[in-house]
Amino acid sequence: MRMRPTLRWTPVGDPLPATTDPAPAAELLDAGGVLVLSGAGLSTESGIPDYRGEGGSLSRHTPMTYQDLVSSPQARRRYWARSHLGLRTFGRARPNAGHLAVAAFERHGLLSGVVTQNVDGLHQAAGSAGTVELHGGLDRVVCLACGARTPRGELAARLTAANPGFDPVAAAINPDGDADLTDEQVGDFRVVDCTGCGGLLKPDVVFFGENVPAERVEHCRNLVRRAESLLVLGSSLTVMSGLRFVRQAADAGKPVVLINLAPTRGDRHARARVALPLGPTLTGLAGRPSTG
């Protein structure tokens, strides 16, 4: 059965009043030891849409679930056709001012780490060393049978060779690199399998319906334990994969500050939610004398 991703939550208690003053975030950075947790909203200024913001992709698109991918040849054909096309646009995305500011915070010794829910690799491209990809990365592929990991570029070349002339125009690109195509556009797209064992391939990302690997979760929990505070950038925190770290920090008495235009599921655990655009706000914070 197709699983719908979590789209909304029921607010509990009084809402956290938002502020347009970035001072709460500045205070965390001035104290140092900040763990950054970023979501899809950080990459929107790079041309990658988010899931749940205004005009987000979930309003028109349900991401492929792990269960559908492994059980349905038709679903795999549809997924790989859309993903193969989407990767061309997705791969052209470049770090925006927000990613560059986070890298600057790291260079100035203000951060204890960066955890991202994004699969686009833009933190790393901006220069953030040691970024933890909570949900994996689209730049590699894993075989579900033998576990071999290979670069996504190798698979792209094989799919191009197997599908000469495949070049439809997508209606939109989604945060998971999936392009919106009709069944007619997908046509008889040919899927290729693992060159080593013939097993099924999937991007090395956590699909809806999958769990984040336990060792990765524990690594992130350890980062929260070592951090002095948590700064959440561009995440609605709707799903538990990110929200659990906000709850952990709050339960430990560590300050949590969110920078997100819309209310989030983590608001009630936070000291403040700064409702400002990420790029200009983070650039301003990175340019302050105290960070130089």
Of 61, 99, 135, 269, which is the active-site residue? 135
CA separation for the pair 73, 41 (Å, rounded): 32
Annotated binding residues, written as ranges, equal 39-59, 117-120, 143, 146, 194, 197, 234-236, 278
Longest dimension (CA), the chain: 58
Contact 120, 43 (CB under 8 A): yes
Ranges of H-type helices in the chain: 23-31, 66-71, 73-90, 97-107, 122-126, 152-162, 183-186, 214-226, 240-251, 278-286
The CA distance from 14 to 1, in Å, is: 36
Instruction: Please state the φ and ψ torsions of residue 222, each to the nearest 5 degrees.
Output: -65, -35
Measured in whole angstroms, the distance separating CA 151 from the mean position of its chain's CA atoms is 19
Rounded CA-CA distance 94/120 in Å is 9
Residue owning tokens 């983070």: 282
Please, are residues 208 and 178 in contact by the beta-carbon 8 Å criterion?
no
Positions at the binding site for Zn(2+): 143, 146, 194, 197
Check the CA dihedral 198-203-206-209 and report its sign.
negative
Q: Hunting for tokens 């334990």 — which residue is that?
A: 225
* Pair type for strands 136-143 and 201-205: antiparallel
**84 counts as catalytic:** no
With a CB cutoff of 8 Å and minimum separation 6, the contacts of 39 are: 50, 116, 117, 118, 232, 233, 234, 235, 236, 237, 242
Residues noted as catalytic: 135
